[in-house]
Amino acid sequence: MKQKTPVVELNRSLGIWSALSLVIGTIIGAGVFVRQAAVLDDAGSTTGALFAWLAGGVLTLTAGLTIAEIASQMPHTGGLYVYMERMYGRLWGFLSGWMQIIIYGPAIIAALAAYLGILMTDFFHLSGGWGLAVSLGTLVAVGGLNLFSNRYGAMFAIITTICKLLPIVAIIVFGLFFGDGNALGNSVSTATQHGSNFGVAILATLFAFDGWILVANLGDEIKEPQKLLPRAIIGGISIVMVIYLLVAYGVFASLPASTIHRLGTGAIPFLATKDFGAIGGKLLSIGVIISIIGCINGKIMTFPRIMYAMARDRELPFSRVLGYLSPKTRTPIFSTIAVLLIAALMVLFANADRLSELCIFTVYCFYVMAFLGSFKLRRQHKERPFSMPLFPLTPIVAIGGSLFVLISEVFSDFTGVLFSLGMVVVGIPVYYYEIKHNHAKDFVKDDSGK
């Protein structure tokens, strides 16, 4: 009698600390260190800048609360891909996943790796040619770590999150206890002739909060996901919002607004050297490097899960390979390698930072659809594992924030919007070809999402 091959499933081993670290780690990259001057310039004053960070945090929190309710009802691998499919059908699910795995996800990973290469060469005083080697080496090293059990990637996320918080705490503590008590009300109008634009300032903070939703891609690997996913998303966003506000206040209390404007992205490195000496400046640089490495780890751990989920549903070319789980590590090895290869190609031959910016429009289009879907789910399911507070105000605010991003993108980068939509449209023939090729027209997933 032929022995039945055992079914290999994802390893459900991630607890609340791993999930929380992934949310915080994928949000906090370099933005908190380099965007202070930009937000200040756009807001026009330190008080306005703090309100911009607060507004960006509140808008992100409403989005997180809305997705948390949806995630508690569909806690499966793939995150937004699964939500879109269940609420709007397989095509919309496919398109949301297609955009994330082909352009958006790999481009973000590549952009972070490229920026890390610049920082590392500057830190060690290497020639510019070493930047490319550092970028690719980081992809190989962090990607290799994520080919093993998800416990290793999760542990790395916890370690890097703790390490990146140390310099942040130092900036906060110094600003609160040793800075200028009159940090608020400082105007930058004497340093710049540009009028304040509070909306643009909020937009800059929203991009600094991006990445919070990626933990939802690990739904089948989190213990008790119906409970822990909402806690991780809401807790992570809330912690980051407090951190961003305190860092901004610490910077404004330690440096005059005109100085922050003049230094631009170098404001926080200057602050670290001024307050803590040359060693402090070096330690801050190390903190930023670790922060970016941790952010890369979170992206590499989460984006391939979307590809794996789509391949498991036989919606991609080479689905049999991309949907493979290693029996030993129980991780999607080939999906991880595929995302890394695309990211490496972008590092070598494309402006990855620009590519990631181009996809912002479609990402927020799918966000709006997901937020609107929460109303549909409310009608269908009276009882939920988690219910967002202040419904329907919460999803309405989330939709309003996303529409603000969409409208801003249309006016600021219409060509980029067309490119972004074009990449989604390209996925339509791919979807129908794969459905027909795999004889999956009548394929229906069971309630477990498998």
Beta bridge partners of 218: 77
- Rounded Cα distance between 259 and 328, Å, is 55
- Can the peptide bond before residue 392 be classed as cis, meaning omega within 30 degrees of 0? yes
* Residue 195 reports pLDDT greater than 60: no
- Point out the least confidently predicted range of 11-20, 94-103, 126-135: 126-135
At 342, the pLDDT band (50, 70, 90 cuts) reads very high
At 270, the pLDDT band (50, 70, 90 cuts) reads confident
Please give the distance of CA 41 from its chain centroid, rounded to a whole number: 25
Backbone angles phi, psi at 194, to 5 degrees: -75, 135
3-state secondary structure the chain: CCCCCCCCCCCCCECHHHHHHHHHHHHCCCHHHHCHHHHHHHHCEHHHHHHHHHHHHHHHHHHHHHHHHHHHHCCCECCHHHHHHHHHCHHHHHHHHHHHHHHHHHHHHHHHHHHHHHHHHHHCCCCCCHHHHHHHHHHHHHHHHCCCCHHHHHHHHHHHHHHHHHHHHHHHHHHHHHCCCCCCCCECCCCCCCCCCHHHHHHHHHHHCCCHHHHHHEHHHECCHHHHHHHHHHHHHHHHHHHHHHHHHHHHHHCCHHHHHHHHHHHHHHHHHHHHHHHHHHHHHHHHHHHHHHHHHHHHHHHHHHHHHHHHCCCCCCHHHHCCCCCCCCCCHHHHHHHHHHHHHHHHHCCHHHHHHHCHHHHHHHHHHHHHHHHHHHHHCCCCCCCCCCCCHHHHHHHHHHHHHHHHHHHHCHHHHHHHHHHHHHHHHHHHHHHHHCCCCCCCCCCCCC
pLDDT of residue 435: 84
Q: Please, are residues 217 and 303 in contact by the beta-carbon 8 Å criterion? A: yes
pLDDT of residue 438: 73
Higher pLDDT, residue 4 or 19: 19
Q: Domain ranges for the chain, please list them.
A: 16-437
Structure tokens given for 26: 């994928």
Q: What integer is the mean pLDDT of 139-161?
A: 95
Q: What integer is the mean pLDDT of 211-226?
A: 95
Mean pLDDT of the chain: 89
Q: What is the dihedral of CA 233, 234, 236, 239, to 10 degrees?
A: 170
- Rounded Cα distance between 10 and 327, Å, is 9
Write down the CATH number for the domain with range 16-437: 1.20.1740.10
Q: Please, are residues 326 and 96 in contact by the beta-carbon 8 Å criterion? A: no
- Rounded Cα distance between 366 and 344, Å, is 26
Q: What integer is the mean pLDDT of 402-415?
A: 92
List of residues 6+ apart from 197 with CB closer than 8 A: 42, 43, 44
Question: How many other C-beta atoms lie within 10 A of the C-beta of residue 104?
Answer: 22
* Residue 72 reports pLDDT greater than 60: yes
Q: Encode pLDDT of 296-307 as tens digits.
A: 999 999 999 999
* Residue 188 reports pLDDT greater than 70: no
Of all residues in the chain, the percent with pLDDT exceeding 70 is 92
Higher pLDDT, residue 34 or 137: 137
- Rounded Cα distance between 118 and 130, Å, is 9
Higher pLDDT, residue 287 or 135: 135
* Residue 242 reports pLDDT greater than 90: yes
CA dihedral over 162, 165, 169, 170, signed as positive or negative? positive
* Residue 154 reports pLDDT greater than 90: yes
At 174, the pLDDT band (50, 70, 90 cuts) reads confident
Q: Which of 310, 373, 396, 392 is nearest to 94 (CA)?
A: 310
At 377, the pLDDT band (50, 70, 90 cuts) reads very high
pLDDT of residue 278: 81
Global pTM?
0.91
Structure tokens given for 423: 């990449």
